[in-house]
Structure 1
Amino acid sequence: MDKDLLIRIVLSIIICLLVGTIGALATQSSIDTWYVGLMKPSWSPPNWIFAPVWIILYIMMGIAAGIVWNRGFYHKWVKVALYHFGFQLILNGLWSIIFFGLEQPFFALLTICGLFILVILTIKWFKVVNRWSAALLIPYILWLAFATALNFEIWRLN
């Protein structure tokens, strides 16, 4: 593997995991208090599943971003792809802060809907640069679809 590619992948994974850490800190503030008291749909997964799923997704996101970044930031499509990626990553971190930190499921729902749209656009632009990097984001968009439905149901039930 190319040394520059490896460095970019590692840096991208670190950035993604840092965003995940911020989200985890916000989550910890209310996961054992406010969240347990919420009504949830019968298909809501156990709390322990979220951390490992997100760690895997952040690693896959970082690999995808590193591959795109390695194509050269001077390239117009790489810039567009990484800008979309950066904005969706910001919304990703904000969702946890809004849902768990501020305990606002409705505003979190609006945020995750925007996030979902941005990830679709990110996948589109990643595919322009490298189809494998786009494919690495497919589990992420599938999980986001599930998370959006779960967020909606929690808001609706409460």
Structure 2
Amino acid sequence: MSPLIVSGGCAAVLLVAGGLATPIGSWYKALRKPWWQPPGWAFGPAWTILLGLAAWSAAIAWTAAPDAAARQSVVILFAVNAACHFAWSPLFFAVRRPDWALVEVVFLWGSLVALLVGLWPISHFAAALIVPYFLWVSFAAMLNRKIVQLNGPFG
């Protein structure tokens, strides 16, 4: 099976699972948010593009990997990132703990740094495709922090 089909399928599963783990209810709507938060409709397309780029990156890295050990590293890097990516939404939205999500986003951010560092020797282009995801998560972490500041304490 094509690496792009596999990675694209994984990205699609992650998108759907993340969407299902993100109940936007009255609790979220009542939170104070900074003026610079993007409109709600922007998050779905942004995550679709970012995870699409990540899927493309994974397929390129898999194909460019020189041996089985490098391919295993690619899989591990993307699997860790997927787990960290998925963990954020339930913490923030379902459990209603933006403070816990703020701690978790550090791990998501770290998984992206690991992807950038780990992919660079395999494929500069695959690593470059992760940069928008890294930048968006950096912005999202600042947004998460500001929401915690404006609304805490939680729990």
Q: 1:73 to 1:25 in 2, by over 3 A?
A: farther
Unpaired runs of at least 5, structure 2: none
Q: Confirm or deny: 8 A CA contact 1:112 1:148 kept in the other structure.
A: yes
1:47 to 40, 43, 50: 40
User: What are the Cα deviations for residues 24-71 of structure 1, in whole angstroms up to 9, with x where unaligned?
Assistant: 1111x2x13211100111101110000000000111000000111223
Q: 1:104 to 1:73 in 2, by over 3 A?
A: farther
1:15 and 2:14 aligned: no
User: What are the Cα deviations for residues 71-95 of structure 1, in whole angstroms up to 9, with x where unaligned?
Assistant: 3584323322321221011110110
Aligned to 1:26: 21
- Count of aligned positions: 151
Aligned to 2:106: 113
Partner SS state of residue 129, structure 1: coil
Matches within 5 A, 1:130-149: 130-149=123-142
TM-score (norm: length of structure 1): 0.90
2:79 to 79, 86, 97: 86
Aligned to 2:28: 35
Partner SS state of residue 63, structure 1: helix
TM-score (norm: length of structure 2): 0.91
Partner SS state of residue 21, structure 1: helix
Unpaired runs of at least 5, structure 1: none
Distance 2:72 2:83 in 1: 16
